[in-house]
Structure 1
Amino acid sequence: MTRTTNATTSTTTIEADATVPLIRITRDFEATPAQLFRAHTDPELYARWVGPADLSTRIEHWDARDGGSWRFVNVRAGEDGAEEYAFRGCFHEVSPQRIVQTFTFEGMPEGVSLETLTFEDLGGGRTRLHAQSLVDSFEARDQWLASGMEVGVEQGYAKLDGLLADGSIGGTDDGAA
């Protein structure tokens, strides 16, 4: 199963692996690997782009280093008060080339995924982000896919495109955050 969504300038591909319970996401950005690394490790920047357009993000804890952990809450304001969705995980590897972390939606704490992000330098100020999420069963993978996750992924990446375009995310040649 492959889903492809188109943003203004980029295409996001979301694929379900047929042999293992894995979701692969691929997207190109007008950014250097250092900029994408920073967007994924700087909590203030991450909060500005992650998730659907109608949600804001509050970082509760963020320690982007090998062995560190994180927790954030997505908030949707409504007439009857706010809805909140909390997520947490642990960073296993944090380097300019690769981030490996766990990811758990606290509403489904048994559904832990292992995520790996890599930043492929395409040259000319472009980078291909490869993300994969490994879950414990095909059923869990299919629930993630059926949840509408592609909306949050694509809208979040569109917000990230905006931050990159307006210069909010600088980067360094060595990939340091």
Structure 2
Amino acid sequence: MKTRNPTRIEADPDLPVIRIIREFDAPRERVFRAWTDPELFVRWIGPRSIDTTVDVWDARTGGEWRYTARDGSGSFEMGFWGSFHEVRAPERLVQTFSFEGAPDGVSLEAMAFEALDDDRCRIVATSVVESIELRDQIVASGMDVGVVEGYEKLDALLESEA
């Protein structure tokens, strides 16, 4: 699927940081809601081959979250969890992020939701991990497929909710 809004994934060579930048053809209030409303979140997060269920979701400053991703065949199941450090609608979301495959590999993710002209929005997501080696493992893991396909699913969701 070709999108008019490409996803940029950047890894600073000198820092254990991953930055993801993407524009959406929807107002930032709707994009922010898609990140914080569990019923919307499960409809777009991750690659097309994965279904997501929310186990815990308390999208407020100091709240926690946990979801499970599964493929249709039952051969893949992975849990993800974290805390909502700051939820400031519609402009900022800061959370921790861990997954079962690397329980010692927590990251801190800060997302800025920037309002653009014509009721559009840009997100800038910055993730900080413990080391450059861990950052390189994450980037090499295929995470780009899940991010890009997830954002394409989010495009379709935002268009259908317009």
Q: Tell me which amino acid in the other structure corresponds to 1:90.
A: S
Give deviations 1:116-140, integer Å, cap 9, x for gaps. Answer: 0111111211111100110000000
Q: Does 1:21 align with 2:35?
A: no
Query: 1:117 is matched with which residue: 106, 111, 114?
Result: 111
1:83 Cα deviation from its structure 2 partner: 1.9
8 A Cα contact 1:7 1:154, kept in partner? no
Query: 2:42 is matched with which residue: 42, 47, 68?
Result: 47
Which residue is 2:126 aligned to?
132
Paired positions, count: 161
Question: TM-score scaled to structure 1, two decimals?
Answer: 0.88
Which residue is 2:85 aligned to?
92
Query: 2:53 is matched with which residue: 55, 58, 83?
Result: 58
User: Counterpart of 1:111 in 2: which secondary structure?
Assistant: strand
Distance 1:156 1:144 in 2: 17
Question: TM-score scaled to structure 2, two decimals?
Answer: 0.96
Kindly, what percent of the aligned residue pairs are identical? 52
Q: Tell me which amino acid in the other structure corresponds to 2:148.
A: E
User: What is the root-mean-square deviation in Å for CA atoms of aligned residues?
Assistant: 1.2
1:18 Cα deviation from its structure 2 partner: 2.2
Runs of 4 or more above 3 Å deviation: none
User: Counterpart of 2:4 in 1: which secondary structure?
Assistant: coil
Q: Tell me which amino acid in the other structure corresponds to 2:40.
A: L
